[in-house]
Amino acid sequence: MVGLGYVGLPTSLALVGSGARVIGVDIDPARLDDIRADRADLLDVDRERLRDTLRATDPALRLTTSIAEIADADTVLICVPTPVDRHLDPDLTALRAACAAVVAHARAGQTIVLTSTSYVGTTRDLLVEPLAARGLRVGQEVWVAFAPERVDPGNDGHRQELTPRVVGGVTPDCTARAAAALSRIAPRVHRLGSPEAAEMTKLLENTFRAVNIALANEFADVCRDLHLDVTEVIDGAATKPYGFMAFQPGPGVGGHCIPCDPHYLLWQLRGQRREAPLIETAMRGISARPRRVVERVRDLLAGSGRTLLGARVLLVGVTYKPGVADVRESPALEIIGELVRAGADVGFVDDLVASVRTPDGATLHRLTDHTEREWDLVVVHTAQSDLDDAWLRGQPMVLDATYRMTGLPRREVV
């Protein structure tokens, strides 16, 4: 396993649970130290199981920073981050480095499976062609496929062991070998005809979600203008047993998938002088959502004769979704940054997060005395399971960015 992050580590443990012996490679020694010492923020990982695995006399999971050790593996899975840069273009730094290292140490007889989300053609560009340049015949001496990661952090109902996978190999034999490896941790593996089909499948999955979230946000704005409760409307539509799938509005999107993956497709289309107007509009709307939250804070304060300058604003929950200790691309970071720049006195509370760093580089630490302070406005950004409804009911003004905090006496929505 090349890459032991939020996806690579739980996948490694799942493989160990299937009876496999896993070499876990990560170039960051601090990451490995944190995993060994149980200091890492481990999403979807059974900590006790991880500790027992690593402390065994002959551990089935061996951690190393040496990529050369992949030579001992029959199957190599590449699972590294594929974010976007500040221009929303793909940042392929980690992926290019990982693939180049794997190619340099690959040997005949191995199956190599790329799982990191990327543009269509990545598998051929970064693995197939370089392997061929080394003299390794793909489909005869080494077998290469793309099988996109599928994880839903914090959702026990969709653990990897319960989630079907798709795989597309360079040849039918490549597909079959990769499918055999994945079948150890997936209930079903759906075979596609090429790596490109599998790459586009992943982009479709997350672009579908992004577009529908943008639509839900737009409906939320329209419903507010028409004095309707958007959650009531969505819940009503969700009673239809066919042709409708409920998506929820919110303060924006975060994590390593939805805010990033559609931009890989848009970037590729721009290079081909093609357009995808619907996707482009949806992503612009999603990107603008945190600023919309700040505008609502400003408007609500103005209604009580206040400005953002000096206003005391508390964010409740800063992770990108409930139940995960992950603030990557969380809308809360931009919201906090915008409020601070406007001169507001901003604090946050979230039992899963000790501190956050805004896009401007400012660091805020979690408050432990927020219930003892007075706030001009409270923004519910993430509804964590331990949310104190009783305390919220006593606040002078609550902006519910989750749209689900019904029953609050002075509740407004974005």
The residues annotated as belonging to the active site are 257
Give φ, ψ of 142 to 5 degrees: -130, 155
Q: How many CB atoms lie within 10 A of CB 193?
A: 11
In the block, tokens 């409920």 appear at 246
CB atoms near residue 363 (< 10 Å): 8
12-46 residues labelled b (16+ CB within 10 A) or e (exposed): bbbbbbeebebbbbbbeeebbeebeeeebebbbbe
Q: How far is CA 230 from CA 215, 219, 248, 252, 404, in A?
A: 12, 7, 9, 16, 10
Q: Are 318 and 348 in contact (CB under 8 A)?
A: yes
* Helix or strand holding residue 294 (H, E): helix 277-303
Residue owning tokens 């001009």? 376
Q: Please tell me the distance from the alpha carbon of residue 290 to that of residue 20, in angstroms, as a whole number.
A: 44
Residue with tokens 């601090």: 30
Burial (0-12, 13-18, 19+ Cβ within 10 Å), 134 = exposed
* Residue 238, beta-bridge partner list: none
Q: Could you tell me which of 265, 243, 262 has the C-alpha nearest to residue 196?
A: 265
Structure tokens belonging to residue 344: 């507001």
Task: Give yes or no for a contact between 341 and 277, defined as CB atoms under 8 angstroms apart.
Answer: no
Contact 345, 352 (CB under 8 A): no
